[in-house]
DNA sequence: CCAAAAGTGTTTAAATTACACCCATGG
DNA sequence: CCATGGGTGTAATTTAAACACTTTTGG
């Protein structure tokens, strides 16, 4: 018994983004407070249904551009979820993405489907609708893997950062602690980052040197990957 | 300008599988010769459109079960491709999977949409329709990454195998050569495999010991991952 | 001069690499 | 007895881990 071709063209596809940000207090996730059904008035991952005339990637980017006001956002696709009954309105597949954002650059601008948007500490995430909690767990584990293969951690930091900030970021993401001296040795050896000659000021302790990432080396490492044994 | 909800439920979703097998002559990919439009009479990845009442994963498994006659197949999801015009018949998203198969256990049984199915050496893949070549390249690079994190390589080998076969398999997948002694040292140290006490016979040279994988350890390593520095 | 965080090297242990010869079987 | 692939150990090098004190600034 073979279906007619038209029987297959009845699904919807959505994107759902797991957006990571980093502050001194730790890793954060961006959630929106849903302003529309289903699951109105619940915190959820920012996402949207895809229009037939928009590419998958563009669709994921558009959601975040609207929401954060940022133009260039680092995004990677995660997994696609497609259980028959995962959405109450019909057959909806969702493609999940993760994004890394500099929190201080994002000006949150909840759009039509969201009444509010807010950063949640990674360990204080409420119950989310659909399979969003599952998506989030997957995203966390992927971020841990990918941050060791590519220097994507910079996407979470301001343009200029101290070595301590860099270490805190890695420690938050990987949920471990590193020895200060060994950490610096490895990072400086990898040639990720460049000393800008500038320093922190107005701090009540010895001011730290400010570094920026090394753009040429970044590209090479993004393309080739590496293995960061931290 | 907001679309009506029904405007979103007009997409189709398919699965496409990149099926790896291994023989002495190297790594192979399973392709089918399309018996239906579009791209009839071309070699392509085995895949199918998803019915509205079947889960995504089941759908991918079903394609391969029909095609190979195998019940339990090791599969993992790769990426989803969703450019607007990737399919000539309308908006079709495709979710790609990779699968690892013991070639000698598979009894190929091309079904309705395929006139033929065959194993192609990994370096002799023809031009494929849709974005299948892109999917294949992605699958190859993912296999390289994942085989170093999890002991999934066994899925490509017969139940009993020699250390030389194991090494050849790793060398094919990773496209490198290893020193025989160092390879054995590492593998035996990881405690992946158990000596069955059996030996090859009817070979015109010293018969090799036959090993099997260590099921308990396999489970632990699948769950926790590791880093194979080969 | 005190508090607070930045910065810096050496020693020890572990892991990885390089490398060459004898062994068991079938024909 | 020969051809074929199977099997084995050690030394040298590289990489990772452990560990504590001095420096600079603001208040």
Q: Which of B53, B59, B80 sits opposite A77 (nearest CB)?
A: B80
Stretch among A150-164, B165-179, B209-223 having the lowest mean pLDDT: B209-223
Work out the number of other CB atoms within 10 angstroms of the CB of residue B60: 29
pLDDT mean by block of 10 residues, chain A; 230 residues: 84 98 96 94 97 97 95 96 96 98 93 87 97 97 94 96 97 96 95 94 95 89 82
Which residue reads 């006001």 in tokens? A69
The predicted pLDDT at position B230 comes to 74
pLDDT for B42 equals 97
pLDDT at position A135 is: 98
How many Å apart are CA A151 and CA A138, to the nearest integer?
20
Q: State whether A9 and B12 contact (CB < 8 Å).
A: yes
Which 3 state secondary structure label does DSSP give A57? Answer: helix
- Check: pTM over 0.85? Answer yes or no: yes
Of A18, A174, A207, whose CA–CA distance to A94 is shortest? A18
**Cα–Cα distance measured from residue B226 to residue A9, given in angstroms and rounded to the nearest whole number:** 42
CB pairs under 8 A between A and B: 94
Are B39 and B86 in contact by the 8 Å Cβ rule? The answer is no
B191 neighbors B178 (Cβ within 8 angstroms)? no
Read off the pLDDT of each residue in B112-130 and give the average, rounded to a whole number.
93
Mean pLDDT of B114-136: 96
**Contacts of residue A3 in chain B, CB cutoff 8 Å?**
51
- Are A130 and A87 in contact, with CB atoms under 8 Å apart? yes
Closest of A184, A186, A188 to residue A228, by C-alpha? A186
Burial class (CB in 10 A: 0-12, 13-18, 19+), A214: middle
Task: Say what the pLDDT of residue A1 is.
Answer: 53
Q: Do B9 and A13 touch (CB under 8 A)?
A: no
Q: What is the mean pLDDT of chain B?
A: 94
Q: Are strands A43-44 and A26-34 parallel, antiparallel or unpaired?
A: antiparallel
Contact by Cβ (8 Å): A170, A157: no
For residue A229, the model assigns a pLDDT of 79
In this model, does residue B1 exceed pLDDT 60? no
pLDDT at B220: 85
CA-CA distances (angstroms) from residue B140 to A57, B63, B108, B218?
A: 22, 20, 22, 22
Closest by CA position to A44, among listed A14, A80, A79: A14
Bases on strand D under 7 Å from any protein CB: 3-10, 15-20, 23-27
Q: How far is CA A147 from the centre of its chain?
A: 11
Alpha carbon B130 to its chain's center: 19
| pLDDT digit string, tens, across residues A6-43 | 999 999 999 999 999 999 999 999 999 999 899 999 99
Give the tokens for residue B130.
């849709």
Cβ atoms of A20 and B24 within 8 Å: the answer is no
Chain-centre distance for alpha carbon B32: 14
For chain A positions 124-143, those within 8 Å of chain B (CB to CB) are: none
**Quick check: B27 and B20 in contact, CB under 8 A?**
yes
The pLDDT value given to residue A113: 74
- pLDDT bucket at B2, cuts 50 / 70 / 90: low
pLDDT at B158 over 70: yes
Residue pointed to by tokens 């079903």:
B62
Assigned token pair, A134: 């599952």
Helix, strand or coil, per DSSP, at residue B12:
strand
């Amino acid at each position: 018994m073979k279906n007619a071709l038209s029987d297959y063209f009845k699904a919807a596809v959505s994107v759902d983004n797991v957006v990571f940000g980093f502050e001194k207090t730790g890793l954060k996730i961006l959630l929106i407070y849903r302003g529309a059904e289903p699951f109105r008035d619940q915190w959820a991952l920012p996402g949207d249904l895809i229009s037939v005339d928009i590419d998958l990637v563009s669709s994921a980017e558009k959601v975040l551009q609207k929401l954060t006001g940022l133009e260039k956002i680092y995004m990677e696709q995660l997994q696609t979820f497609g259980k028959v009954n995962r959405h109450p309105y019909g057959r909806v597949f969702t493609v999940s993405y993760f994004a890394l954002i500099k929190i201080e650059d994002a000006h949150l601008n909840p759009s039509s489907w969201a009444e509010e948007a807010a950063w949640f500490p990674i360990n204080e995430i409420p119950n989310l609708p659909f399979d969003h909690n599952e998506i989030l767990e997957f995203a966390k584990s992927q971020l841990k893997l990918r941050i060791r293969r590519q220097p994507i951690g910079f996407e979470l930091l301001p343009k200029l950062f101290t070595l301590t900030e860099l270490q805190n970021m890695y420690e938050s993401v990987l949920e471990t602690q590193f020895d200060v001296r060994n950490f610096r040795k490895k990072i400086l050896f990898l040639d990720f980052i460049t000393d800008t000659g500038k320093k922190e000021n107005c701090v009540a302790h010895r001011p730290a040197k400010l570094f920026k990432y090394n753009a040429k080396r970044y590209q090479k490492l993004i393309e080739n990957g590496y293995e960061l044994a931290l």
